Structure 1
């Protein structure tokens, strides 16, 4: 038998040479040894011990074995597993509720009263124990506040009560002439006290300020922040200011909590205008205290020494007039691999120019000519001379620089770079040189020239073919199905890429048409099928007595639809109603397709529209006319008064009689 120095049940038991080790898995089972085994530290082979749930726990499986047996130096597995007991949820109590961490063994429930109520006695948190929730429901009683505190130099606006209910308010006021500092109104709060803290009453003035008058307190008052009633203080003008009225009072007095009005008001002093300086002038923001004057020299002159802006101070303008001397530039700088076209001078006057030249075969980068500028330096910056080439390009040869040279924009004399064919291109001559060299500022000629790769022609595919723009890189091939077939899925144009034609041959499947559309007042001659093959035909007929307009027979077309559009069944045209008119041609109702009517307006009416209309598939063509009464304006130009007609008829009768008489006499003379 092995004796262990101690026994700790935190999991499965395991005996070693020096101690009894308990595997961690038992700890999670929430179990303890029953009382009869707790004092035993070692067990002989074959011993059996029993476990039970820890306080506040219950078995997960009531039928699970509670014992383990010592086999050699190991205990058998324990089936028993326990979980925390539930105490159930606590119901809200009168005027309160519980804030619970949970309802299992060890969880807690803190009582909280509703607004306006507070716990009677000490707050006690309840705990879920082995037998259920400990303690009992607390009592929440209405919040009551004692009378609010009295304040010095002030009182409550109303007579205080012995106690106040939750949220009741009280207001304070100060004795006449005193300032109330803080909140005047307090409320009875949840903890049975008035909040916020009561205010205070003061009879004093704070430090006065009249900033808009440009004044400050005299020195003896500056450090004092509050003044008792009756105090008098004096003001003076701020630095750089003067009184607007020299006789104005400079003092104010504290009366209760307010200062009397201040008469003194000040304005900025004037320094006067500065005269122009020799070969220069001032750029001034103004001439009053605080304004500035910046000296500016005339063109061709510059300030001798450091530029100093002058300021209008309390006693006038500070500083003195500067000196503007003629601009002089030192000789311009020497540049590498270049020189001045003329011999340099010891100094140069304003706007004098110098010009640079590069050594033969080099590039001048920048401005070749510089000028002596207003600040005594040559501008712009001097140029630089380079023996280099810019990045080469031979786009017409369908080539690009190899990757290692693409990010470089300039190359020194003697540099060599290599080209390669653009994507989708191949060399025209595989033995041509791919490199060029920078010689001075020029690149040597490039032999390499590339042409588009060929992808070859695409063969016709089952029930279709390709319409190709070509077979070289970038060309496209559009799949087209034979008549009676259509592409399965989305049409995808194939493109000749660097590695050949992309994509794959599409599938052309036989054209199928869905059943044709039903028509109003008509039907198909035969029972419709679920689908139709290419060129299959269907025929329509109209209900008895109706006319069929359009094609009666439709065919399943290449795009999977029946064509042409289905016909319509026509039941004739409605009888027209043309007032103030009569029918002078055509048949009487009803009117079928092709029937016509001709109208004539009654006397005194004129027609608007066409007199002859025909019944078409879409109704009367043209639209029905209308007969409108003639207006005075319509008759003025075309009708005569009755008397005029009578006169004309009489005249015409006389003319006819005269002509007849002359003719008769002429015939008689001829017969003689």
Structure 2
């Protein structure tokens, strides 16, 4: 084999140096170079084998490892593998920081020890120069010397004296420190300017301002426009005053986009209008009103909006349709003023026949109407000779009016009856074309005398002059009086010839209500009877309470309203328990003057009374209470014993009892 291969991690031992050829199956041994360490899992020997090639693993030396170098503050370490001999580590800084030193270090051998070839870099904030000053303004960083990455300042303009035009801040009010190369800081935008900006007053012909109106317009003032009716905006409807004193976008134009309202045409209507805007090409149709036309046979016209927004024409007025002159044989117009040379739609003509003639199918006259189709409605009638009706029978009556001397068709007749008789049927009748009277002729019938009157009352027939068979009248009394007898009578006949009332009239008498009685109660005022409308007030005896209305009134029917009240016994509810109070109670309700006993639950507490009583007003009296005895009270009782001259022997006994009581209390507290 030739000379063994040169390895980066190991070298031949000295004993093999200078040998140019090695026999088959001969071996060579390697030692690790500086920076590498022996791999115990692999032999450091190569063997000369077949084909003149060296055989064996060449991974018998592995790189040594450097220690963890650490990370710079505000930065980080970039590594793709281990910290092995010969490897490199890169560093980078966080956003806003720049790297001072070398961005890369290597793992090397120094004095036979693997270590890093240099110190790690540091990351310091990227600085910016102070922000530029502006004329007529200042910024929020005044007096500050250091501006690091991310720092921002805000500019504002100086105020001016009254009457002077104010300064406008042109540009962004705030700028901030940034970087483009991660080394040096720069401000993200140029500083704004403070200058007087004045835009001319915005006006748009055929338009108006919707919002933003001011006396003067300065930088960034915005206005909003709208066009007048029938005008369309060309351009932007909003514009803003820019730093150059011009409006941007430019002020819009309002251009005509519709014809005016189509003209009114007399006796015509505009059909199918789809709004009140008429762009070029819009067509409007006129239709003549009923009974009218533009010309014979033409009742519609069309006009069109032209590109110059004018109408093609203004139609002439619609004229009324004509009807032919009526040819009336043996007849004439009833009213001379209705006669014309020409008749048009809507004209009215009343036709009547000459004497001795009548209109077939009609009574006296017929009214013709000129219709929308140019014809008479009804058709022009024909006058024929007039028939007669029979003379009416006027037994017990007479004719009081007759429109004609004879009884020809159309004759109107009015009849009236003699005294004591009433007309059955219609009083006015007319002779018809079929020679009959319509309505049918009436006849005169007998009547009853007026119904009798009653004192303090009236009947429903007041003001009526005649009372024919079957007429019924109803009686009623004045307020406060009652009707005695039947309330109605009617006109009848017992013999079929003479008429009379069915019975006598009733009477009206004064209404009286009985004395109301309320058990266990009183009333005011005290009487035996009460006239209509009288009011009575009620109250209950002690221990009773009123149920119902306290006042009732006498009605026209002799009854009391509202209904009389009742007096119910007063009762007290079972008293509710208290924390320190025990009450002996076995019922839910107690009558007046019933008593209950109670006692205080805790020692050292007492009550002035041990009984409570149900009072007449439904409450317990006195209110049960428990209160705590205090030492002062006991001392006062002892002082009273001295002042009252109690014998010393009795006083001594009293004091000993008090002492014993106090000792018992002390023991209870200690336990």
Look at both structures and tell me which one has the larger radius of gyration over its CA atoms: 2
Would you say same fold, with TM above 0.5?
Answer: no
Q: TM-score, with normalisation over the residues of structure 2?
A: 0.29
Q: TM-score, with normalisation over the residues of structure 1?
A: 0.29
